[in-house]
Amino acid sequence: MPTDAAPDPYSDPLVFGQRLQILRTRRGLTRDQLGGLAGRSGSWVKGVETGRLKTPKLQVILRLAEILRVRDLSELTGDQSVRVSLFAGPGHARLPEVKAAVECFPYGTDRTAPPSAELRFRLAGAWAARHSAPHHRDVIGALLPDLIRDGRAAVLQAETVEARRAAQAVLAEVYSLSQFFVAYQPDAALLWRVAERGLIAAQESEDPHAIGVAAWLATQAHRDAGPAGLDAADDINLRTLAYLKPLLPEASDDVLAIAGALTFEAGYTAARRGETGTAWRYWDQARSMAARLHEDYYHPVTSFSQAIMGAHAVTVAVELHQGGESVRQAAAADAVTIPSRPRRARHRIEEARGYQLDGQPDAALATLGQAHEAAPETIRYNGYAKKIVLEEAESKSPARRRRASRLAVKLGMLAA
C-alpha cells in the first residue's frame, strides 16, 4: 500500500474539514476552484479544512456535497446516524438481474436471436413504457435482461456485414436504455461498463444516430462525475458534433434531433463551468435545430423537441445560478406539456432548484410535489431534490418544515 495514498474518510473518525479536503482532492479540485463553485473563497475552504473555521451550516454543506458529488451525505459529515443518499439511489430491486445480463459472457450461448424487426419492436415498446410509467425502472428493469441477451445474440449470429452492423445499432440502443436504468444506482462501475459498451456497439454499427445517442449518454456520465469530468464530457460531445455536422443538411429527424441534443449538452457543460455566454449560445443553436423538426416530433431517447427547449432554458439558468432568470424561464415553459413522465418530473425538479435560488422555498417544495406526482421514481433518485428537501426540513417556518418532512417520507429519506 503506497504511503502517500489518500486516506479513506471512513477509516478514522475524521473531522469535517479533513473529510472535505480528502473528497476535494479526490475530485481534483483546488481550494480556489471549490471555493468559487460554492460562492466562497479559497482561503475560506482552507480555513474549514484546517479547522480554523467551524463546520458550515447545512445549506453550505449541501452545496459542497453537490459540487463534490458525494454518494451519501455522511461521507462529508461523518455522521453515520443519518445516512442520506444524494446522487446515488438506494439500489433498485431489479439491479442484480440487469447487472447479471450485462456481465454475462455472451459466447457459447444456445440462445437463438430473434429477428431484427422483433428486437426493434420490443425496444420501441420499452422506450414508450419508460416515458409513460411513473415507476419506469420497474418496467424497463423487467425488460432489459432479455433485451441485452437477445441483442448480443443478434450480433453474434448475424450472417452478413450489413446484418451485423444493424444488430450493433440495436444493441447500442439497448445499452442506452440500460444506462437510464443504471444511472443513480449504487454501482458506478456498472454505469461506466454500460456506457463504454454502448459506445463500442455504436461505433461498430457505423450508424450516425446510434453513435450520437451513445455519445450523448457518455457526455452526461462524464459531466455527472464532477468538475474533473467536464473536459472529457466536452471532448466526446464536440467530437461527435463535428462528425455529425456534414450529415445535417439532409439528415433524418432522428439524426437532427440527436445533434440538437448534443448541442444543448455542450451548453449544459458550459453552464456547469459558469460560462454564461457560451452556455446560452449553445442553447440558442439547439433551439434553432429544434425549430427544424415537426412541432409534434419527440426524440424517444433524449426527449429533444421543440417542447423541451423551455425546460432546457430553465436548466441552463439554474446551472448558472441565475435564480430570477430560471424562474422567468420556468414561467415561459410552463404552458408546454412534456410528454415523458420522467422528463416532466426532471423539469419540475429543475424548476424547484430555480425557485430555491430565487428565494422562494415554498414554491420549490410545491414544484417538487408536482415532480413526485409525475414520476415518483425520478425524484426519489435525484440528488438536487433531496438537497432541497433536507434544507427546508430545517427551516425556521414550522409549516415549511412539516411540508418538507412529508415529502422526505415520500422519498424514503425519513421513516413515516
Residues 116-127 pLDDT 10s:
889 999 999 999
- Whether residue 13 has pLDDT greater than 70: no
Q: What gap in Å lies between CA 101 and CA 181, rounded to an integer?
A: 13
pLDDT at 288: 97
pLDDT at 414: 59
pLDDT at 14: 67
What is the overall mean pLDDT for the chain?
89
More confident call, 219 vs 17? 219
Q: Which of 46-50, 68-72, 297-301, 373-377 has the lowest mean pLDDT?
A: 68-72
- Whether residue 314 has pLDDT greater than 90: yes
- Whether residue 1 has pLDDT greater than 70: no
The closest alpha carbon to 240, from 180, 198, 274, belongs to 198
Residue environment code for 9-48, b if the CB has 16+ CB neighbours within 10 A, otherwise e = beeeebebbbbbbbbbeebebebebbbbbbebeeebbbbb
pLDDT at 8: 45
- Whether residue 181 has pLDDT greater than 90: yes
Query: In the structure, what pLDDT confidence band is assigned to residue 12 with cuts at 50, 70 and 90?
Result: very low
> What grid cell was written down for 353?
432548484
More confident call, 223 vs 38? 223
Q: Which of 66-70, 85-89, 345-349, 376-380 has the lowest mean pLDDT?
A: 85-89
| 232-279: pLDDT as tens digits | 999 999 999 999 999 999 999 999 999 999 999 999 999 999 999 999
Query: In the structure, what pLDDT confidence band is assigned to residue 356 with cuts at 50, 70 and 90?
Result: very high
Q: What gap in Å lies between CA 174 and CA 145, rounded to an integer?
A: 10
- Whether residue 76 has pLDDT greater than 90: no
Q: Percentage of the chain surpassing pLDDT 70? A: 92
List C-alpha distances in Å: 254 to 213, 244, 298, 343: 10, 12, 9, 18
Query: In the structure, what pLDDT confidence band is assigned to residue 87 with cuts at 50, 70 and 90?
Result: low
- Whether residue 58 has pLDDT greater than 90: no
Average pLDDT estimate for 55-71: 83
The winner for highest mean pLDDT among 47-61, 244-258, 385-399 is 244-258
Average pLDDT estimate for 364-380: 93
pLDDT at 353: 94
- Whether residue 367 has pLDDT greater than 50: yes
pLDDT at 221: 93
What is the 3-state secondary structure of the chain?
CCCCCCCCCCCCCCCHHHHHHHHHHHCCCCHHHHHHHCCCCHHHHHHHHHCCCCCCCHHHHHHHHHHHCCCEHHHHHCCCCCCCECCCCCCCCCHHHHHHHHHCCCCCCCCCCCCHHHHHHHHHHHHHHHHHCCCHHHHHHHHHHHHHHHHHHHHHCCCCHHHHHHHHHHHHHHHHHHHHHHCCCCCHHHHHHHHHHHHHHHHHHCCHHHHHHHHHHHHHHHHHCCHHHHHHHHHHHHHHHHHHHHHHHHCCHHHHHHHHHHHHHHHHHHHHHCCHHHHHHHHHHHHHHHHCCCCCCCCCCCCCCCCCHHHHHHHHHHHCCCHHHHHHHHHHHCCCCCCCHHHHHHHHHHHHHHHHHCCCHHHHHHHHHHHHHHCHHHHHCCHHHHHHHHHHCCCCCHHHHHHHHHHHHHCCCCCC
Average pLDDT estimate for 166-177: 96
Query: In the structure, what pLDDT confidence band is assigned to residue 82 with cuts at 50, 70 and 90?
Result: low
Average pLDDT estimate for 171-180: 96
Query: In the structure, what pLDDT confidence band is assigned to residue 65 with cuts at 50, 70 and 90?
Result: confident
Q: Percentage of the chain surpassing pLDDT 90? A: 63
Let me know: does 379 contact 373? Beta carbons within 8 Å.
no
- The single-letter code of the amino acid at 366 is A
Q: Which of 3-12, 88-97, 388-397 has the lowest mean pLDDT?
A: 3-12
- What count of other Cβ atoms lies within 10 Å of the Cβ of residue 402? 12
* Residue 56, strand partner residues: none
